[in-house]
Structure formats: C-alpha cells, structure tokens
Amino acid sequence: MDKFLVSFIGLLMTVSGIIGTSLSDNLATLGELVDPEIEVDDTELTEIQSWTSQCGGEVLVNVDSFGAVGDGVSDDTQAFVSAWNKACSTPKSVFLVPIGRRYLVNATSFIGPLVIQMDGTIVAPDEPKNWDPKFQRIWLGFTILEGVIFQGSGVIDGSGSKWWAASCKRNKTNPCNGAPTALTIDSSSGVKVKGLTFRNSQQIHFTIARSDSVLVSEVLIIGPEDSPNTDGIHIVESTNVVIQKTKIGTGDDCISIIDSSTSIKMKKIYCGPGHGISIGRLGKNNATDFVSHVVLDTAFLKDTTNGVRIKTWQGGSGYARAIRFENVRMEDVENPIIIDQFYCDSPTTCKNQTAAVEISQIWYRNISGTTKSELAMKFACSDTVPCTKIVLSNINLVKTDGTAQTYCHSASGFSYGTVQPSADCLSSDQDLLIDQLKDANAEDEEPRIDTLFTLSSHPFMPTVMKGYDP
C-alpha cells in the first residue's frame, strides 16, 4: 500500500469517531480500493509435458488421429469434435492440436474438462454468407469447463477481413450486424490460458463470460487498426480474473470489462494500436450494470485512441467503483485518462437522459507519457449522477506540440503529489466538511459525511483538525 495512504488513513481513523460511522465505512472502501482481494492464483502456469516428449502417464488425443487433415482447406470440424469427445471420456487426457498444421474449423461448441495443448493453427471459414446461423456470435465456444488449461504456441485465426468489410463501422450503408467471437470461455471456473496467439478475429478475439478464477498469461492478440469491434479480451459477468504479460493490438479496446464483473487484475499489459483499456460500455439501453474492484498495474499504451477509460451510456443505472489504474506509461495516446458518462456508439444521435451509471472511487497513480489530444484528462460526468471520489497521484502527461489540459464536468475528488496538467477543476467538499465539524462542535451532535473524499488531500487535514477543538 502507498506509504502516504497508510499514514493518511491512520490520521483519518483518529477522527472517525468525531465525524461518524459513515466515514469509517468509507475508510473500509478505500482499503478495498488500495488492496482489492483477487482470489485466483496468478502464479506461473506449470507446463505439462510436451506432446513430442515422454507423456508421463498422460493420454494424448491427437485431432489428426480422428481424421483431421490440417491443410487449411479441408473441413476438420468433425475430427475436432470426435477428438474432444474422446478426450473428455478418457482420464488424464490431453487434447492435442499439433504444430505445423492449419486446421479449418467451423463454428463449434465444446463442453468438458481436460488439458488442451494447442501448437498448430486453427483457422475460421472466411465467408460470412456460409456461416452457420446457429452460431451467429460464436466461433470456438467452450462451456462449463472446470480446471481446464489451454496452452501452447498455437494460433487462432478468425479470417475476419470479409466480416470487417461488411461492417457498418467500415461502410455506413451496411447493416449493423453482429459477428462471431473467436474464442469464448463461458460458465467455467479454474481456467488457465497461456502462450496462445489470436489474430484477425471476426469481431471480439477472446471473451470470458460468466466465469470465475480465470488466468490469462503471455497471450498475443493481433488485428488491424481499422478492424471494427475487434476487442482483444472482453470480460463480462466474471470474477477473479487475472490477465498478465499480454500484448494486444487491435481495432477496438485492448481489454474491455462490462456488466457484473468484479475482482479483475491486469498486470504487465502492452496495448496498441486500439482503443485503450476500458471499463464499459455500461448502461446501454437503460441497463443496470455493475463493475468493481478492478486493477491495472504496469502497462504501456502506444498510439491508442484512448488510454485508461470508463465509458457509460446515458439512461443506465448501477455503478463502476473501486477501480485503480497505476504505473502506466503512454506514448502518443489520445485521451490518456478519460471518464465519459455520455458515451454514444450509435449511428444516430443519443438522446439526453438524466439517469446514469454512478462512477466513484477511481484512483489514477503513477501515469506518465505523451498525449496527442489537448485534453490529457477528461472527466465528463452527469449533472444528476456526478462522478465522485476521483484521486490523482503522480500524473505527468505532456503534449509534444502544445499544452495539455484537464476538463471536468460534475466531477469531484482530489490530487496529491505531482499532477500535470493540473486537475484544479475537480470540485471538492472541503468547506462543507469544515462547516459540519464546526456545527457539530457548537451543537454537540454527530455530523453526517456522505463521502470519504470530502477530507481531500493531506495538506487540508491539519486545517480540519484546527477547525475542530473537542
């Protein structure tokens, strides 16, 4: 934990009895923000023995043994299904996609527990018109997995170019249709993915949905900068997910985290090109969405259209809170730090609505680099549901050909340490706190504090203590 925060919280604790129980509750919340608990084991994946070596008692189930041709032209779908079924019914089995081959596999759903050694290339059919309508949004789907390991040097190639050409993002005269996700892990637990390469997905490359305890390590995701909706890793309704030592460059968010996801940790991430690392979109179609306890620690973003972003639609509800972005380096990034409660990814203008997803307890720490846009930090928040408890610490973002600025609308919080450009536009409730403390002293009653960060930054605390004499 940050040494200043330790001492700061300790000082706050000494006056928590004066200020009331709501402050103590908020202190506990700050503790969660600083050190969120993520239960998944993020230690290095243990390599199983390679299929080329002695098996050590493991049963290799090779897709080639079930009729897979591996020439990238012949349809190997049935061979994969047959090999999978055999592997699932065989104790200590390893599902093997051998190196040096290219397997054409149509949209397929797999269910069951085993180890997957993927060293070859799996390629999708490249013609959208021939896609099975039963699998409109899925190419390779894995469901109800428990303790499954995906590993190897293999490639999952979505052959997405024709899908991109048919997107309304490329051509506004095209209909806005969905497209398959290359790999989906759904309703699973204890899953580990290591070493794989994803490229040229039809839309999202890799989705983790409705799952718990997932570890992704040393994965490479590649797609053209202009490939629409090709998020790298998309997390939805999942808990205890760790993504580490991963490089992503696509045409959309490198990592996106949406509804009902909590305890997500990202560490040692390279992002670019793409749209940055995003919480959201949340609240679309007046939905109620929740995201909390997210940490990005150690990342490098280059040539992205956003840096670290939280985006919500108007009209939604729920919250995004207890989120920390730290130790991030940016190079030629537009919108390095952005909260946007007016997000609108629609071919038509979005109407103004008063309801909004609540955004609070957001901490930006040790973030530096260069911005392409004049606004290095933008906090565009709802008038009716403002952003609160934004903390900035040790920020240094500069514009190479001009002066970087900060924009704030309906956003409150505080900063400490060096913050460049200045974030003086963040509103504060310091005066309210002083008045409440004075009133409580005069009337001998307990003041109400609705937010921890009315205490603001450390230079202010001596003023508070001076203004209150028990």
Q: Is the bond preceding residue 224 a cis peptide, omega within 30 degrees?
A: no
DSSP state of 130: G
- Distances from the Cα of 127 to the Cα of 106, 123, 161, 168, 226, angstroms: 11, 12, 9, 17, 19
Closest CA to 149 of 107, 181, 192: 192
Query: Which of these, 212, 261, 271, lies nearest to 234 by C-alpha position?
Result: 261
- Catalytic position from the list 76, 252, 259, 289: 252
Nearest Cα neighbor of 261 from 282, 240, 238 is 238
Cα 230 from chain centroid (whole Å): 14
150 alpha-carbon distance from chain centroid: 21
Tokens of 248: 């992503």
Provide the 8-state DSSP code for 160. -
Residue 443 to residue 126: CA distance in whole angstroms: 75
What is the rounded distance in angstroms from the CA atom of residue 213 to the CA atom of residue 240? 5
157 near 139, Cβ under 8 Å? Answer: no
Give 242's strand partners.
215, 265
Tell me how long the chain is: 470
Residue listed under structure tokens 């290359």? 182
State how far the Cα of 164 lies from the Cα of 187, in Å rounded to an integer.
28
**Radius of gyration of the chain, Cα coordinates, nearest whole angstrom:** 25
Task: Examine the residue annotation and report whether 75 is marked as an active-site residue of this protein.
Answer: no
CB environment 353-388: b (16+ within 10 A), e (fewer): eeebbbbbbbbbbbbbbbbbbebbbbbbbbeebbbb
Is 293 catalytic? The answer is: no
Say which of 205, 234, 275, 293 is annotated catalytic. 275
Active-site residue numbers? Answer: 252, 275
